[in-house]
Structures are given as C-alpha cells and as structure tokens.
C-alpha cells in the first residue's frame, strides 16, 4: 500500500470560542455513502479540550460541508475525571442511541495527568450528548490501577469488545508507559477487564501504544494505532478473532515526512474506505496543534 499526503485540511477555527487551537484525535461516524462526521477535540483559551466535528465527503476531504458552531461535549463538573478536558475516541450505536466513547483528563498529583475513558449518549441522532455517568467507565481497577483511556468499541453478536490504552507504569512523573488491552461487556456500558493484552511493546525502548482504531476489512480484523519511542509513528496489527493480534508495523507504509506538519511525529490515524479508495486522517506534530492531516491511497 502506498499513500499520497494531502497535508493539513481540518484546522481549529479561531472564530469559535472552543476551538482556538488543536483539532485532535479524528473520530469517524458514517452518515451516508462517502459522507462522514469527523469528531475531534479542540481547545479554548484556557487550554481545555472540547469535542466538536466537521462533516465532509471523504472523496473531497478539503471541502468542509459543516463545522460545528458549538461543542457537542464540554469538560465535566469540577472534581470529576474529565473536568479539564474531553477528547473523542469512538462513536457507535446500541441500535437506538448513539454512544460517544471519549477520553477525560485532568492534571495529576504526583504524575503529570490522569486519563480515563467515559461515555456519553445521544437519543436525538447526535444533535446532543449526555454523559451516561460522571464517573469513568474504565477507571482504576485491580488489574488497571493506572491510566485507562482511549476506548475503541466494537459491537458484535457475541457482545461488546473494547480496545483501550492501559497503563503499566510511570517511568517518571512525566512519562507513562502503556499498551493496548481488551475489555468485554454485555451492554457497552459496564465493562469487565482481566488485563488481556491485544498489542504489546515490541521492545524496551517503546513506551506508548496509543489510540487503537479497529475495523473488519471483510477478511480479518485490522487495528491501526500509534507507537512511540522518541516520537509517535503509525502501527498496525491484524486478527482473525478480534482477540489475538499479530503486529506488523511495516504494513503501514507511511510515516513522518521530514518536513511539513508531520515532520516530527504522526499519530491517531483512522483509515476510511470511500468509493474512490482509502482515505487516512491523522494528527502530526504537537498532537494536532495545527489540525488534522489527510492522505489518500496512491
């Protein structure tokens, strides 16, 4: 697979009070055909992230059909796990409602930050979302006492699967180490975790495996994720059953450019299939400070 980079196409909108910087963590929802709603997190002047979206036809990703005038989810109530910012992670449906799985964060105490996963529900086709709980759905537990975040959720005939980022240690107060783990659920809201690892570190120099994005390509399950030693780069894994994964990052065939918006890092990628081929949305330098970049299958 080869990719042609189109550059930075979805940017923060400084006319919006909530979108002064960043368009971070592109998260897709298919509306019809090639038209998608791409959720992302943007920050206000206080550096607090809110969730908004754009609507685009992914065959013409440089044209923004709609840019949300207000965020669909704001930071949580003071003292809650998400009181200093929220970021999208996955959007799916339970059949009657839309579920927005998201990342909530706040400053830590002895460590730089706390990151946990939450869920908000829409019963009006995505016009508004309300938190299902002010507590995280994947908080600290016996098997996951540290960071638990970035949930990607798949609903199947056999129940619900979640792929999430699970912390394994803090190397320093500023540097966590985390891999990608699996949780199960009967309803998509209450989750059971046993510490099952989906994708692990390839060596001791790797510190972070971030934001799993999982889909079935018609033959097998695919996972795109980001891995970091010094800086984030794309990673890839495949699975026949969604539980046991084989990692092969070479399949990605894309990475930092050396110049431009992704000269240093490339992360949080999603890959969508349009009527004209595959389209990738991702963040580059400084975790999407300038916005979301796009690449198309060459």
What digits encode the pLDDT tens for the residues 11-40?
999 999 999 999 999 999 999 999 999 999
pLDDT value of position 1: 74
Q: How far is CA 99 from CA 30, 130, 158, in A?
A: 14, 10, 18
pLDDT single digits (tens) 184-206: 999 999 999 999 999 999 999 99
34/142 Cα distance (integer angstroms): 43
* Averaged confidence pLDDT in the chain: 96
CATH tag for 3-297 (out of 3.40.640.10, 1.10.20.140, 2.40.10.10, 2.115.10.20): 2.115.10.20
Please name the residues in contact with 271: beta carbons below 8 A apart, sequence gap of 6 or more.
213, 215, 222, 224, 278, 279, 280
DSSP H/E element including 122: strand 113-122
The closest alpha carbon to 283, from 233, 221, 212, 219, belongs to 233
Q: What is the pLDDT of residue 167?
A: 98
Q: What is the pLDDT of residue 285?
A: 96
- Domain ranges, ordered by start, for the chain: 3-297
**pLDDT tens-digit series, residues 220-265:** 999 999 999 989 999 999 999 999 999 999 999 999 998 999 999 9
Residue by residue, what is the 3-state secondary structure of 157-217? Answer: CCEEEEEEEEEEEEEECCEEEEEEEEEEECCCCCEEEEEEEEECCCCCCCCEEEEEEEEEC
């Amino acid at each position: 697979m080869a990719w042609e980079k189109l550059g930075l196409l979805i940017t923060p909108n400084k006319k919006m009070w909530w979108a002064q910087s960043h368009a971070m963590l592109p998260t897709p929802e298919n509306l019809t055909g090639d038209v998608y709603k791409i959720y992302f997190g943007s920050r206000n002047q206080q550096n607090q992230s809110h969730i908004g979206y754009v609507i685009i036809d992914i065959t013409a990703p440089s044209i923004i059909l709609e840019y949300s005038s207000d965020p669909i989810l704001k930071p949580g109530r003071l003292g809650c796990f998400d009181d200093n910012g929220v970021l999208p992670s996955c959007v799916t449906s339970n059949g009657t409602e839309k579920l927005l799985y998201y990342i909530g964060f706040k400053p830590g105490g002895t460590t730089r930050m706390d990151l946990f996963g939450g869920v908000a529900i829409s019963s009006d086709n995505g016009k508004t979302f309300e938190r299902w709980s002010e507590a995280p759905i994947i908080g600290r537990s016996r098997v996951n006492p540290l960071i638990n975040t970035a949930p990607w959720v798949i609903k199947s005939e056999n129940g619900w699967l979640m792929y999430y980022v699970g912390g394994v240690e803090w190397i320093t107060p500023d540097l966590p180490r985390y891999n990608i783990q699996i949780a199960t659920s009967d309803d998509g809201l209450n989750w059971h975790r046993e510490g099952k690892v989906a994708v692990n570190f390839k060596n001791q120099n790797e510190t972070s495996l971030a934001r799993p994005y999982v889909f079935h390509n018609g033959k097998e399950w695919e996972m795109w994720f980001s891995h970091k030693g010094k800086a984030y780069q794309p990673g890839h894994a495949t699975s026949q059953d969604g539980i046991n994964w084989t990692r092969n990052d070479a399949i990605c065939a894309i990475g930092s450019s050396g110049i431009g918006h992704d000269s240093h890092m490339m992360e949080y990628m999603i890959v969508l299939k349009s009527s004209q081929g595959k389209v990738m949305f991702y963040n580059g330098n400084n975790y999407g400070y300038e916005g979301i970049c796009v690449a198309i299958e060459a």
